[in-house]
Amino acid sequence: MKKLLSICLAQLLFSAFASAQDALPEDFVAVGELDTRIEKEIRYFGSNNFVGAKVDGYYAPKCILHRDAAKALVRVQQAAQASGLTLKVFDCYRPQRAVDHFVRWVEDETDIKTKAEYYPNLAKDKLLGGYIAAQSGHSRGATVDLTLVDRANGKELDMGSPFDMFDTLSNTDDPRINEVQRKNRYLLRDLMLAEGFAPYPLEWWHFSLKPQPYPNTYFDFVVR
């Protein structure tokens, strides 16, 4: 009986510890609580992503950010709306366990079912380092992946390449994109720059608030 009680107590303590580890920090917030107009298509919550499966650590399709980044994103949304547009976010805070999932996926050479869509011109073993890192700025809580949507027709603006395409075509200034696509990328970039987000030249969709609230911390609480 004592042994059973000890096991139950250990399980309760472990559950309490796990819950504490996964608790949302006080200075993080779900962006939807600040502005319901920002559209969300959290790709890693489902299977429509380069892994082809739901990613570890995503238990809800939420955009979670440090409060400073969330407030700045709301200001970007306000500016976008003034131009007849709205933001659509693909990913925000990303748990470290999700990044670990990405690394395991890269190391599995047999799983190439998403190659044609996400990395048609690269061997899978070339993705680690250049495109997928063992640690991600997203895990610091102030980086967001997003695009713009035309409010009149509900369609995403043509950016010249899909989100998360591992190819130089996704570079903001890739010479192969046309003038409309370049204009759309620059529009997104300028809206984000105006509120303190720095672009990542290799991915037109990727922006990080500067300065970073947690420049040296990689969080692992889940998205729920």
Known binding residues for Zn(2+): 138, 145, 206
Question: Nearest 5°: phi and psi at 89?
Answer: -95, 140
Computed on alpha carbons and rounded to an integer, the radius of gyration of the chain in Å comes to 19
Nearest CA to 67 out of 35, 28, 93 is that of: 28
The answer to whether residues 146 and 153 touch, using CB atoms and an 8 Å cutoff, is: no
Backbone CA torsion sign across 81, 190, 219, 122: positive
Element (H, E) at 150: strand 143-150
| Cβ-based neighbours of 89, under 8 Å, separated by 6 or more | 31, 38, 39, 40, 41, 42, 63, 73, 144, 145, 146
Which position has the token pair 């650590």? 57
Q: How would you class 162 by CB atoms within 10 Å of its CB: exposed for 0-12, middle for 13-18, buried for 19 or more?
A: middle
176/167 Cα distance (integer angstroms)? 12
Question: Which residues are documented as binding site?
Answer: 138, 145, 206
Of 39, 41, 195, 203, catalytic: 203
Does the annotation mark 203 as catalytic? yes
What residues are annotated to the active site? 203
